[in-house]
């Protein structure tokens, strides 16, 4: 087991930027190749969020980059931990043996710590530092930041509503990441309302309601996206009502998002509407032109992409609906430029 050649890593990053630019992020420069053992290259990441993103989105691309740069059959593994570098030299005259090399180990976590979810994983892009504020989202961002810094003390529950693609999910994930930075072992449950309902139905069918209730009523933070899907779900609403009460009374943070404010969700029990309004209800509106310009610049910089000012202005002027479409336009422009091997103009 030995440290990889720095030239190999430089060639890998260059290959990634050239062949897989849409998935590349500026923080790739912070990654560190630590060991090369036979056909396995271990790359150290800064946190679990980055590790999950790389495993989910980038494993095949990094394997291809490693094999192209080395000319050998190499597989990449992303590790989150610390290791002991190999000794730079040995003292043969005094017969001093080098200390054994210890490979990086995953960070130990308790069985019940961290995030559990069947479908939602955190994106390293979705942090407060990367969230662009404007007149339409300033209050929501300030409230989410306060919750991330002081869970269950600032606003509880926090209810964020607004149209599709306006940044609600970004704020929810930023809360999770902020809390995990301060307390890596925090019990966080972050999932969609649809997943919550599916878990409830499975628990009823399998006679596992005790496990279900223990799972959701003993977390430090419960975040549910698209809570409006509780509409017309009488049994699920009943269960969520008791889950909400248990968490709230035990001083645990609750964060919800929806397309509509609580009062406008159809067929939602009045007692749930009342509880959703206990804390802070805040709206996220469509970004104005100046905010859209800042969003395009931020999204491009996350990819390490430099866009001319007139291109930024063009995209921001053409797309007025939501942030998700702005990001899609950047991806399309970047892909077409790579395909045609031309600069973006």
Instruction: Check residue 81 and give its pLDDT.
Output: 67
Rg for the chain, CA atoms, rounded: 23
pTM above 0.75, yes or no: yes
Q: Which of 89-93, 192-196, 197-201 has the lowest mean pLDDT?
A: 89-93
Q: What is the pLDDT of residue 90?
A: 43
pLDDT at 69 over 70: yes
**Rounded (10°) CA dihedral 164, 324, 308, 123:** 130
pLDDT tens digit sequence for 276-288: 999 999 999 999 9
Q: Which residue has the tokens 């964020």?
A: 160
Q: For the segment 143-166, what is each residue's pLDDT rounded down to a tens digit? A: 999 999 999 887 999 999 999 889
**Which pLDDT value is given to residue 8?**
85
3-state SS class at 97: coil
pLDDT per position as a tens digit, 14-42: 888 888 877 888 888 888 888 887 788 89
Alpha-carbon separation of residue 334 from 264, 294, 299, 319 (angstroms): 40, 18, 12, 17
CB burial string 131-141: b at 16+ within 10 A, e below: bbbbebbeebb
* Contact predicate 284/162, CB 8 Å: yes
């Amino acid at each position: 087991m030995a440290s990889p050649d720095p030239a190999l890593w430089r060639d890998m990053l260059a290959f990634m930027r050239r062949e897989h630019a849409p998935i590349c992020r500026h923080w790739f420069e912070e990654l560190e190749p630590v060991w090369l053992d036979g056909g396995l290259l271990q790359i150290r990441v800064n946190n679990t969020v980055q590790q999950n993103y790389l495993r989910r989105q980038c494993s095949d691309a990094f394997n291809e980059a490693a094999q192209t740069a080395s000319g050998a059959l190499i597989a990449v593994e992303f590790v989150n931990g610390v290791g002991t570098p190999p000794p730079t030299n040995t003292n043969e005259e005094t017969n001093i043996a080098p200390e054994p090399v210890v490979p990086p180990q995953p960070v130990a976590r308790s069985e019940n710590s961290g995030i559990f979810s069947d479908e939602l994983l955190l994106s390293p892009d979705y942090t407060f530092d990367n969230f662009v504020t404007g007149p339409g989202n300033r209050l929501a961002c300030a409230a989410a930041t306060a919750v991330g810094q002081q869970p269950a003390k600032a606003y509880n529950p926090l209810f964020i509503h607004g149209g599709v693609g306006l940044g609600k999910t970004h704020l929810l994930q930023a809360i999770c990441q902020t809390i995990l930075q301060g307390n890596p072992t925090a019990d966080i449950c972050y999932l969609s309302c649809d997943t919550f309902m599916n878990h409830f139905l499975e628990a009823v069918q399998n006679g596992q309601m005790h496990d279900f209730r223990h799972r959701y009523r003993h977390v430090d933070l419960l975040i549910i996206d698209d809570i409006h899907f509780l509409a017309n779900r009488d049994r699920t609403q009943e269960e969520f009502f008791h889950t909400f009460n248990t968490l709230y009374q035990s001083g645990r943070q609750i964060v919800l998002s929806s397309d509509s404010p609580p009062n406008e969700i159809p067929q939602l029990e009045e007692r749930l509407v009342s509880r959703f309004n206990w804390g802070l209800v805040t709206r996220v509106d469509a970004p104005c032109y100046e905010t859209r310009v800042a969003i395009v610049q931020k999204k491009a910089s996350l990819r390490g992409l430099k866009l001319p000012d007139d291109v930024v202005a063009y995209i921001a002027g053409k797309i007025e609906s939501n942030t998700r479409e702005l990001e899609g336009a950047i991806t399309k422009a970047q892909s077409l430029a790579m395909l045609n091997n031309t600069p973006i103009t």
